[in-house]
Amino acid sequence: MLNIESLHKSFRENVILHNLTFTVNPGEIIGLVGENGAGKSTLLHILATISKPSEGSISLNDLSYTTERKKIRKLIGYVPQDIAVWEDLTVEENMVFFEKLSWVNQTKEELRNLCQEMKLYKWKEPVNTLSGGMKRKLNLAISLIHHPKVLLLDEPTVGIDLKSRKEIGTYLQKQAVENELMIIYTSHDMDEINELCNRVICIGKDPFYKDMLLNSGKEIISF
Amino acid sequence: MKDILVTRVIRWKKQVLSVLFWLLFPLIATSLFISFTEKIQQDTQVPIGIVLGEETPLALGVLDAIEQSPLVEVTQLTEDEALIQLEKHALDSVFIIHQGYEEQIRKGNRTNLITSYRSDRSLAYSPVKEMVVSFVQQETIRSKAAYVVMDLETKYKREIQRDWEEIIQKSKEVQAEQDLLHTTFQFQGATQPKNENPLFTWNVWGIWAVFTLLSTLLLLDWVIKENSSNIRSRFTFTKIRYHHYVVKNLLFYLGLFIIVDGFTLLFFYHYFSTQINMFVLFTFRVMITLLAFIIALLSKNVYLFYCGAFAFTLFITVISGVFLPVNGFIQEITWLQYVNPLHQFLSEEVTFIWLVGSIILLCLWYFRKEKVDA
């Protein structure tokens, strides 16, 4: 379980996140919405241990973010908004490259299966010849090599076709249920959020996103 | 370490030709440069024919003096052959040292000692003729001086009187010891090979060092490419931190460089008969790799880095005196040698100051990253 309590983040006098408290249970997909600059990426960065909160405490499966950062990093899969793969390498080479740097050893066959599960079949193709959707799938697959318990996705489907978007969504739902993966997902696409997420966290002052979700039947947490 | 090596091999596979080219570039470029300049020197030698009418010590002495000149390529022939070659323009000019040459010199005669032939294409005839004449005059005057010395020794009744040959021999020894006229151009750190008399002698390892500086900088461009890419964000969630990954990759490159340097050492020894202390080479290699790495770490844009690499190499080339003799102005601007990372290597000394500086900078960067990542 991921526990966030009284989280506060400010840059000098500029308060980005104020008093955030929520929990994420295993198998749950949490949507994170808000206007640009509301602090979605900042929150993801804090949860991914890339940056530290100004105040408050976070723990993952009873491991404190303050004292157990190295252990926590092994449990986190982070999918950056920008596609972070080697464009000149093939899908296979990218997967092997990051498997070698990963805490978990996997065979090529296991890596290939991981890609195929999200319908990424172009195993021997160089990444620079793939479509945007395929690249996004690879971006996600690399983040799952070490079997994380928490998956943090920063707008993982931005700029891709509907089919790939659906395939990624379906895969994430399956992972959450089958592997009890905790997923926190930022997006501006409210249909996607409605379809995928169990709960939605709205951050920022603009009530637009909250209003849009009022009739969705989702549990909305607002900060 | 093995896992990191696998990741580097995956990266190398995509750029195998480029990596191989730049790894071998110093060796190939140095070899080509030396061979090319030597070929140019040989091609610019004027072919002349010498016909010896007698093989007396004086005649052979003139022949030897002419052959020692780096400006001419001497072929010894018979008169008929020489004239045929001249007609074919295979020779620029022909000089015949007639029978009785030594005798005439001993008598002090200075006219009609040598006959020369030229063709309508003897472009270098005048300077070559002047050179030959100067050698003949030198020997004539030496002979005349020998007779004067002999006369003086007789006149003043010296106990041990030397003969003509002894005086000539002594004269040559004195000339060799106090040679003020003969000057060869020598580059910074170059040692003149024995038994050769070229116009220029190159410092093979100096030239290699300049090309190595450039190739090392260009081979370490991955530091900028990988540092600025989105990939770096993934290293927070891998078993190895980014700065560890970079340093381990640097060690692989260093290993690769050392292997190629070992091969270069053997190659240069075999083909150019030039040697270098292995420790001097090793410290230079470590220093230049660390320096290139630090420069790459400080660079954000790979194209600016490439421009900087060429500009820096050009600057070092100029102040090193490897391609242009700079002894004069180096003596005027002594601080230049301290900003030149190649200076100690060119003097065949252990690269100490720059090596220590590079290690300190690397440690500062490494421990700062450790602190940030903690």
The chain A residue lying nearest B15, using CA atoms, is: A88
Give the model confidence (pLDDT) of B275-285 as tens digits. Answer: 888 999 999 99
Say if the Cβ atoms of B230 and A83 lie within 8 Å.
yes
- Domain end call among B153, B183, B213: B183
Asked if A96 has any chain B CB less than 8 Å from its own CB, the reply is yes
Give the model confidence (pLDDT) of A115-149 as tens digits. Answer: 998 888 888 899 999 988 889 899 989 999 999 99
Asked if A121 has any chain B CB less than 8 Å from its own CB, the reply is no
Checking if the pLDDT of B187 tops 80, the result is no
Question: In this predicted structure, what is the pLDDT of residue A129?
Answer: 92
Same structural domain, B121 and B171: yes
Same structural domain, B33 and B76: no
User: In which region does residue A12 sit, left (phi positive, over 0), alpha (psi from -120 to 50) or beta (all else)?
Assistant: left
Domain ranges of chain A: 2-84+150-222
Residue B166 lies inside a defined structural domain of this protein: yes
- Please, which pLDDT band fits residue B360 given cuts at 50, 70 and 90? very high
Residues of B in contact with A44 (CB under 8 A): none
Token representation of residue A43: 């929150």
- Please, which pLDDT band fits residue B194 given cuts at 50, 70 and 90? very low
Same structural domain, B309 and B230: yes
Question: Distance of CA B29 to CAs B23, B108, B208, B210, B211, Å?
Answer: 11, 54, 8, 10, 7
Give the model confidence (pLDDT) of A103-123 as tens digits. Answer: 888 899 999 999 998 888 888
Query: According to the 3-state scheme, what is the secondary structure of chain B?
Result: CHHHHHHHHHHHHCCHHHHHHHHHHHHHHHHHHHHHHHHHHHHCCEEEEEEECCCCHHHHHHHHHHHHCCCEEEEECCHHHHHHHHHCCCCCEEEEECCCHHHHHHCCCCCCCEEEEECCCCCCHHHHHHHHHHHHHHHHHHHHHHHHHHHHHHHCCCCCCCCHHHHHHHHHHHHHHCCCCCCCEECCCCCCCCCCCCCEECCHHHHHHHHHHHHHHHHCCHHHHHHHCHHHHHHHHCCCCHHHHHHHHHHHHHHHHHHHHHHHHHHHHHHHCCCCCHHHHHHHHHHHHHHHHHHHHHCCCHHHHHHHHHHHHHHHHHHHCCCCCCHHHHHHCHHHHCCCCCHHHHCCCCCCHHHHHHHHHHHHHHHHHHHHHC
Q: Which of A121-130, B164-173, B341-350 has the highest mean pLDDT?
A: A121-130
Same structural domain, B28 and B66: no
Pairing mode, strands B114-118 and B93-97: antiparallel
Same structural domain, B316 and B258: yes
Same structural domain, B80 and B13: no
Checking if the pLDDT of B184 tops 60, the result is no
Closest to B65 measured CA to CA, from B78, B53, B74, B52: B74
Nearest-CA distance from A207 to chain B in Å?
32
Contacts of B102 (CB under 8 A, 6+ apart): B54, B56, B57, B58, B59
Question: In this predicted structure, what is the pLDDT of residue B27?
Answer: 95
Token representation of residue B124: 């270098």
Residue B176 lies inside a defined structural domain of this protein: yes
Asked if A73 has any chain B CB less than 8 Å from its own CB, the reply is yes
Checking if the pLDDT of B171 tops 60, the result is yes
Say if the Cβ atoms of A98 and B233 lie within 8 Å.
no
Across chain B, mean pLDDT equals 84
From the CB of residue A12, how many other CB atoms can be counted at a distance below 10 Å?
Answer: 5
Say if the Cβ atoms of A103 and B238 lie within 8 Å.
yes
Residues of A in contact with B231 (CB under 8 A): 84-86
**H or E element: which one contains A57?**
strand A55-60
When pLDDT is averaged across residues B90-102 and rounded to a whole number, the result is 89
Same structural domain, B235 and B214: yes
Residue B142 lies inside a defined structural domain of this protein: yes
Residue reference for tokens 């700029």: A159
CA distance A6 to A19: 4
Mutate which of B3, B12, B234, B248 to disrupt the A interface (most A C-beta within 10 Å)?
B234
Cβ proximity of B116 and B86 under 8 Å: no
Domain count, chain B: 2
Question: In this predicted structure, what is the pLDDT of residue B195?
Answer: 44
- Domain end call among B117, B151, B183: B183
Say if the Cβ atoms of A100 and B4 lie within 8 Å.
yes
Closest to B200 measured CA to CA, from B374, B325, B358, B316: B325
DSSP 8-class letter at A136:
H
Checking if the pLDDT of B159 tops 80, the result is no
Asked if A71 has any chain B CB less than 8 Å from its own CB, the reply is no
Same structural domain, B207 and B111: no
Say if the Cβ atoms of B231 and A85 lie within 8 Å.
yes
- Please, which pLDDT band fits residue B349 given cuts at 50, 70 and 90? confident
Residue B194 lies inside a defined structural domain of this protein: no
Same structural domain, B104 and B204: no
Task: Give the CATH number, domain containing residue B51.
Answer: 3.40.190
Considering the domain delimited by A2-84+150-222, tell me its CATH architecture: 3-Layer(aba) Sandwich (3.40)
Checking if the pLDDT of B328 tops 70, the result is no
The residues of chain A scoring below 50 in pLDDT are none
Question: In this predicted structure, what is the pLDDT of residue B209?
Answer: 92
Residue B279 lies inside a defined structural domain of this protein: yes
Q: Give me the residue from B3, B6, B230 closest to A80, CB to CB.
A: B230
Residue B188 lies inside a defined structural domain of this protein: no
Same structural domain, B150 and B233: no
Residue B175 lies inside a defined structural domain of this protein: yes
ipTM for the complex?
0.83
Checking if the pLDDT of B273 tops 90, the result is no
Handedness of CA B305, B308, B313, B314 (dihedral sign): positive
Say if the Cβ atoms of B238 and A101 lie within 8 Å.
yes
Asked if A211 has any chain B CB less than 8 Å from its own CB, the reply is no
The chain B residue lying nearest A96, using CA atoms, is: B7
Question: In this predicted structure, what is the pLDDT of residue B259?
Answer: 95
Cβ proximity of B229 and A88 under 8 Å: no
Cβ proximity of A185 and A156 under 8 Å: yes
Residues of B in contact with A97 (CB under 8 A): 7, 10-11
Percent of chain B whose pLDDT exceeds 90 = 32
Same structural domain, B86 and B154: yes
Q: Give me the residue from A73, A85, A97 closest to B237, CB to CB.
A: A73
Containing structural domain, residue B163: 46-183
Nearest-CA distance from B226 to chain A in Å?
10
